[in-house]
Structure 1
Amino acid sequence: MDTEANTAEGVIDAHHHVWDLSVRDQDWITGPELAPLRRDFALADLEPEARAAGVSATVLVQTIDVPQETPEFLALARDSDLVAGVVGWTDLTSPGVARALAALREGPGGEYLVGIRHQVQGEADPRWLVRPDVLRGLAAVAEAGLVYDLVVRPHQLAAAQEAAQLLPGLTFVLDHVGKPPIATGELRPWAEAVRLLASLPNTVCKLSGMVTEADWDGWSVEDLRPYADTVLDAFGPRRLMFGSDWPVSRLAATYAEVIAAARELTATLHPAERHEVFTRTALRTYGLTVTGSSQADQEAPCA
């Protein structure tokens, strides 16, 4: 029996986005390759695809580093039957980061705030995460009881590992398995850096974003397998969670193809281990409340 598709709580999609270009431009969507993303993507577009794939709840993740987006996402979650948590943004370098987090928590839908993310992948400084002002902000995230999502490239993984070591009370979630160069087939030095990060108990990884790091027009599950196997071995199923990265993933695959690939990549796991990847890890890490989930599924986070 396919456990993750037959539990009361269903699959948790721990990573997706939405945006409305009439409200705010997504200035990262440039050039002809990304042209398919230059349109609005709403929860109403995602929901039928997610439900058809057995997804019962999701985590909505920030897309751009502006303060207005997070309150909008929290209000959206409050009115949604699908979104169970929001990973938002705040300026980690601001001396007022603790006050900003408190204000988000006190606003409409504030109870849905589960984590914070910054577009570290766009920072020129590979050691941005261990700047003193950033570490102070990350400590405030930990103090607020939130998780920190890492969107980094392989050359930034060393700083991510250092930050996680310096802040053992903060859970760091690695998005998109650290964006390895799947299209070229290179494993090193990404694999070594990921293993170092995974050696810390306060780290978790998302099995997400791989199809867009592969050859968009010709990827196969076998292209993804060495990278999925690496993070499965390094983090283990209890610290690995599924995420679709919709709608960015649409550049290379349909929603159904993304989740089918993830299921194939985890097919050799015990059903209980697959349930960790597709449901329990997200529930536990983000402290999500999902109708039908058990107390065991929502036990304390790893950090």
Structure 2
Amino acid sequence: MGGRVIVDAHHHLWRPERGYTWLNDPALAGIRRAFTPDELRVELAGAKVDRTVLVEGGRCHVDEAAEFLGYAADTAEIVGVVAWADVADPELAATIAGFRRLRGGELLVGIRSQVQGEADPAYLDRADVRRGLATVAAAGLAFDLVIRVDQLSAAARAAAAVPELRLVLDHLGKPRIDEGTAGLRDWRGPFTDLAGNANVTCKLSGMVTEAGPGWTHEQLRPFVDVAVTEFGAGRLMFGSDWPVCLLAASYGDVRIALEQVLPPPAWDEVFGGTAARTYGLAVDR
């Protein structure tokens, strides 16, 4: 990859006792433990990944930001934090300003809400949500979209309505890779519509868990091919989704799988260039 700094644009850290109740699902027992910066650094070294973006972990509390920004301040590999905030909160601007006053606040690069947890597929059409998205844009931050396939159409409308906002689609919008051609068919149309907005980038992340145990490279390939066709390498980025990926694959296996199914000419952008531009990362810090 020509000596480029390799960036993982999506991973998590957590301590379950601090409020990560979603980990109580019996199916998640394998990742229901603490994951810390020290363990992350071991994984990065093993996979030859240089820099990362730490993404909120579903705790859904503003206190998480102080912990994560502190981790980033103390860990050279973590060059950006996407913090949780309620995008519909009328006090969102004040919350963001508060994050920036924290130690490590200069490493805040994005905001994420758990939109996938909203029952309404049209949640992103709400006026209060649109105002929140505009607030994120005015703050100069990206907004990560963790959404379901049935929310992709609303995301496309939001992207068109707030063109000044950098939107980042996590996990390709969570297509049902385990359903093969049926999953590809249901996802491709709305995914393509979202990709038609130039202010949207997409993370090639979360695929192994959507494919499920026993996944193969050939299961992933059609979804990656569509993403490359619709977004182009310059709007795609690698994300490990560690430690969630451990439900199906090791950190190193996730990186290798993407290299196996991604055309080599796209590697430099996907494994670093796109993330650095999208989040404004100082990858040489």
Aligned to 2:87: 92
**TM-score normalised to structure 2 length:** 0.96
The answer to whether 1:290 aligns with 2:283 is: yes
The aligned length equals 282
Aligned to 2:125: 130
Q: Say which SS state the counterpart of residue 280 (structure 1) adopts.
A: helix
The answer to whether 1:49 aligns with 2:43 is: yes
The answer to whether 1:35 aligns with 2:32 is: no
* Deviation for aligned residue 1:254: 0.5
Please give the alpha-carbon distance, in whole angstroms, between the structure 1 residues aligned to 2:25 and 2:126.
32
Please give the alpha-carbon distance, in whole angstroms, between the structure 1 residues aligned to 2:26 and 2:70.
33
Q: Displaced runs of 4+ in structure 1, greater than 4 A?
A: none
Residue 153 (structure 1) aligned to one of 148, 151, 165:
148
Cα deviations across residues 136-194 of structure 1 (Å, max 9, x unaligned)? 11100000000000000100001111110100000110000110001111212211111
Cα deviations across residues 182-223 of structure 1 (Å, max 9, x unaligned)? 11112122111111000110000000000000122x110101
Written as runs of structure 1 = structure 2, the 5 A alignment for 1:1-303 is: 2-3=1-2, 6-7=3-4, 9=5, 11-22=6-17, 24-64=18-58, 65-185=60-180, 186-216=183-213, 218-266=214-262, 268-270=263-265, 273-291=266-284
Please give the alpha-carbon distance, in whole angstroms, between the structure 2 residues aligned to 1:245 and 1:33.
17
* Deviation for aligned residue 1:52: 2.0
Please give the alpha-carbon distance, in whole angstroms, between the structure 2 residues aligned to 1:149 and 1:228.
19
Cα deviations across residues 16-46 of structure 1 (Å, max 9, x unaligned)? 0000123x12111133321101111111112
* Deviation for aligned residue 1:120: 0.7
Q: Say which SS state the counterpart of residue 126 (structure 1) adopts.
A: coil
**TM-score normalised to structure 1 length:** 0.91
Contact 2:16 2:23 in 1 (8 A): no
Please give the alpha-carbon distance, in whole angstroms, between the structure 2 residues aligned to 1:248 and 1:215.
12
Whose helix fraction is larger, Structure 1's or Structure 2's?
Answer: 2
Letter in 1 for 2:279: Y
Please give the alpha-carbon distance, in whole angstroms, between the structure 2 residues aligned to 1:93 and 1:148.
13
Cα deviations across residues 26-69 of structure 1 (Å, max 9, x unaligned)? 11113332110111111111211212212110000001211111
* Deviation for aligned residue 1:269: 3.3
Please give the alpha-carbon distance, in whole angstroms, between the structure 1 residues aligned to 2:33 and 2:69.
22
Please give the alpha-carbon distance, in whole angstroms, between the structure 2 residues aligned to 1:107 and 1:48.
27
Q: Say which SS state the counterpart of residue 172 (structure 2) adopts.
A: helix
Percent identity, please. 49
Gaps of 5+ in 1: 293-303
Letter in 1 for 2:82: V
Letter in 2 for 1:50: L
Gaps of 5+ in 2: none
Please give the alpha-carbon distance, in whole angstroms, between the structure 2 residues aligned to 1:31 and 1:21.
12
Contact 2:11 2:242 in 1 (8 A): yes
